[in-house]
Structures are given as structure tokens and as C-alpha cells.
Amino acid sequence: MMLIRWILSSMRAKLLLMFVILTSVPLIAVGIISYQKSFHAVSGHSKAATMLVADQLGRDLDILFEDTGKLLELEKTPSVQQFLFSQTDTYEDAKEIIKTFGLYRETYKYENVLNMTMINLYGRGISERKGVFQLSVNPLRNPHLQHLLNNPDDILNIPPSDASPLDRLDGFHYDQQNVISIMATVKQRITHEVIGFIVIDLNDSIVEQFCNTVTIGKTGLFYVVDQSGNPIFMPTDLNEASPAFNTLDLTSRLPEQRNNYVDRSAGKPRFVVFTTSQMTGWTIVGSVPLQEIVEEATAIRRLIIISVLLSIIFAITLHFFITARLTRPVRLLQSKMRLAASGYLEVKVKPSGSDEISDLGVSFNSMLENIKGLLENSMKEQELVQKANLRALQAQINPHFLYNTLDSIIWMAEAGKNERVIQLVQALSRFFRISLNKGRDWIALKDELEHVRSYLIIQQMRYRDILEYEIDIPERLYGFSILKMSLQPIVENALYHGIKNKRGKGLIRISSLVEQPDTLHLSIEDNGIGMSEPKLKQLKEQLNAQLTPEETGSEVSGGFGLHNVHQRIRLYYGEAYGVEINSIEGQGTQVTIRIPRKRG
């Protein structure tokens, strides 16, 4: 508990904890990721290299048997067919066959072929080593020949022994040489009936040398097994009692694996890799202690662990040198901030240096200045709101408008136009009722449009020869609220500064533009005299300017009403909303009001 309380109350302790966490966690994470990546990369390369060696021996075996298999074409030779089919022969026939053997040797350069033998079903044969001979026993007693007789399309690859399968029937052995034999049938060319067999004996030195010389790691080795899992090529220093042999359980394990696995059945785990020769079906197996495969990855792991520990120690040491320079200016800044929080905004920080703490002090001073500025602006904005409300009230009761309207009522009454007088008085009543609106600032768009319609009815009676109007607002928008007196001042500008100075009838059209989900666009468009580019530019500049009461009283193209509406909208809704104006001289003017959609 004391340790936790000390950490929570001391900035230096927090920095220490932060340093340890921020340095140790990334370093440990990087170390773990680096170890995993390097382990998989190094061990993967070692395994791949081992697989390449095994695959190379498999390819060598396939090439050896594929090349030697060309000798099986001897069965198609007419002299061989004649020799095996007939029971009698001449010296010239035998000589021709031996000559054919030699021709094949010279053509294909068979260095590993020890002997080529042809024998018929009755034990009569011819070979390079023995010439013409007759077996003393029935050749069909040989299980290999019996298998070929029953399966004439098969080609047998007989594992090594000290004699050929046929020679073992006759008691002949090769001196100090092991033999790999390839056996196939010889068929009559027309009837395809089996008339004999061909046996090719190969020297196994290429495979034996590989197993004795090629190793994996320091103690790993290769050997070859047949389809049943029985070893046929083994290093001379390996026997069936050695651990490398006993832990494999070749018969049950190898067929279940793809090309490698880790054997953990006994003692230390061993990495086993194997590949199968396509020509012979034999499997080349490599076995090595797993530790030898990942030895380099283990060394990398130790290096990463040491690097991480040294980095953490260095970070902690560096912390004690840095915190002394950090905490003192931070404490000074803390005391100044407490003074500012108490309300004393004249406090200042004297930064020293150019580091982040110094920059923080500069920012603190700037923040206090901004706060004081915001307070002053807030007071000014309150004044602007009050002035805007005053201007709105002034705009609501325009003495000239009221005087002219009452004057129109008088002369209509004198002329006996009672219905028009009633209509005019009703419109004037609705106009002032909505203008007052019980002192509220927001009204429904429907009421604002009714207010403008009342104004236009009054003005149309006065200027019936020059004024027409259209209000085209969808009823679905009537429920949205709008700032009171937003449309009438702009319509008044359109009448007095656009249509009144135009020859012929003018049209004022109030409509809504393309709708957006969160914004309402209202357009007041007239076909009056418009304005020139310089005048339009001047009016746009004045819209965004902070004008004095005297300036707002001056009418620059109807500047008072337009500026009043624009400033009120921005004060109430924000800088993103307001009034936009576009005009073409001689064609008319369009004013667009943009306000947010809000239900009343």
C-alpha cells in the first residue's frame, strides 16, 4: 500500500513506472516477435536444406532407374526375341545379342550397370558376365519371376543384395559388391505372350556412398527403406539397436506424415525428414536431434533476452538523469496554473530553454491571453445581440411603411373601395400580429411565410401595376422553425431596390432550393434591375463586416435589412449559416438564406 501511495503521489515515481512500462513492454514484445520470426526462419531454412538433400538423393535414384530403364528396350530386338522363343541357337545368334548389349552400353554410357541378362521360361539365358547358360533349377520358382508372370506389365526394382536374383538361383555371387536389380517381362511382339524375362543388375555404390557421407547437423544421418519400412541402405556406423533407428517406427509413422515431423516418442525429440522415389517407391529418411536444427535460433533467443534486459536497465538509469530536469519546471508551472485557476489571469510563466516544458509554459501564457480575449469578445457579442434585437424591432415598425399603408387605406375609403380597405386592414393586422409574436425570436416557417404574404398583399395594393409575387414552399417544410423577420426585410429590399426601379411588371418569387438532411435553403428572387459587379462585391464585403449603428443605418443596395438578417442568423445559428447574394445587372437578384433544420 505504501508503494502504491508513493507512486500515485509522486510524479517522479510515475515517470519511473512509465519509463519501465514504455520501454520494457515494447522491447519484450519486439523480442518475442523477433525470436518467433528468427526461430521459424532459421529452423525453416535448416529443415528446407535437409529436405533438399533428401530430395536430391530421390532425384538421383529416379534418374538412375529412368536411364537404366532404357535397357528394357532390348526385349524388342529381333535377335533377343528369337533367342528366348527358340530352344536352339547358334554362336552367331548369341554373339549378336552380346554385341547389342555392348552397343547399348556405348550409346548410354552405363557406368553403374554390372550385368544384363535375358532368360526364357525354361531357364535358358544369356548375359554379359556368363554368356549363354542354363539354370539348374526352374526359374519360375523365383518369387520375383512368378510375380512378373502373373503381372506382365510390372517392373520390379529389387533392393540390394550380394547377388542378382537369378544368380542366387544358380549359386553365383558378385564379389564385394551389392546389387540393385531391375526385372521385367519380355513379350512376343505379335501375341504379347510372355516368353522370358530381362534382368539388369546395378551397382548400389551411389546410394551407399550418400548414406555414409551425407549428414544432417552434427550427428544426423540418412538411410533408405523399402515400401514396407524395412531398411535397405544404412550408414555403416548405424545398426538397429541405435536410438536413431529405434525411435522412428517407420512402418507406422512415415505413411502418416507429409514430408517431415518431430519424433518425441522416446528421449530427446528428433527431426525426421523423408521423401519417396517415384521410380522405386523407396523412401529416403533423414533423422537428426531437433536441438541441432534449431541451434542457431536458440543462440538468437539468448542474444535477444540479453539485449532486452540491458535496454531496460539503460532506460531506468536514464530516467534518474532526466526526471530531475523535468520535475522542477513542471512544479513551477503547476503553481502558476493554480493561481490562474483561482481567477488571477495576469499570472505569467517565464520559460527557460527550448524544450517541451518551455513550450508548455509559452502555450500556458497564450491560453491565458486567449481566455481574456474570449471574455472580451463574449461581452462584445452580447452587445451585438442587443443591438441586433434593437435593429429588428426598428425594422418591424417602419414608420414610412406604416404611414404609406394608412395613407392607402384613407384614399381607398374615400374612393368607396370598402372591400379593398377591409382586405388591406386585415393584411396589416396579420403583419403586425406576427411581427410582435409575443416577443419570441423563433417562429414556424409557416407563420414567417404568412407574415411575408401579408406584407406583399399590402404592397401589391399600392404597386399593383408593377408587382407580382409567388410563394412556392412545400408544406412539409412549414413545421421547421426560423428566426423571426428573416424574410420580410429581404423581400422589402427586392421591392424597393430591384422592382420599383424597373420598367414594367416585376416578380418576387420565394422558394426552397435543393434540400439537404440538416440544412434549409430559402430563396428570394426578383427580376428587377440587379446590380453591377463592383456594387455586388461591395455589398458582399459589407455583409461580413462589423458595422456601427450609423453604418447599418445607411442603405447600400438595401444593406441595412440584408446585413441585419445576415448578422442575426450568424449570431443565433453560428458562422456556418447566413445570407448569400447573387445578382446580374439588368436581370435580377437572388438572395439565399441558409439555416439549420430545426423543428419548432
CATH number of this structure's domain 397-596: 3.30.565.10
pLDDT at residue number 383: 65
Query: 506 and 468 in contact (C-beta within 8 Å)?
Result: yes
Half-sphere exposure of 566 (CA within 13 A, CB side): 21
Distance (Å, whole) CA 53 – CA 206: 14
Query: 222 and 210 in contact (C-beta within 8 Å)?
Result: yes
**Residue 110 CB coordination number (10 Å):** 19
Distance (Å, whole) CA 565 – CA 487: 8
pLDDT at residue number 399: 63
pLDDT at residue number 581: 93
CATH number of this structure's domain 77-203: 3.30.450.20
pLDDT at residue number 554: 45
pLDDT along the chain (600 residues), means of 10: 58 69 76 75 74 80 79 81 74 81 78 84 85 84 88 85 59 64 87 88 77 75 79 69 48 58 76 81 82 74 80 76 69 77 76 72 82 80 65 54 77 79 82 70 87 86 84 90 86 88 88 84 92 89 66 46 82 86 91 87
Q: Where do the CATH 3.30.450.20 domains begin and end in the chain?
A: 77-203
pLDDT at residue number 238: 63
pLDDT at residue number 510: 94
SS3 (DSSP) at 471: strand
Bridge-partner residues for 196, per DSSP?
Answer: 120, 186
Query: 94 and 83 in contact (C-beta within 8 Å)?
Result: yes
Q: Where do the CATH 3.30.565.10 domains begin and end in the chain?
A: 397-596
pLDDT at residue number 216: 76
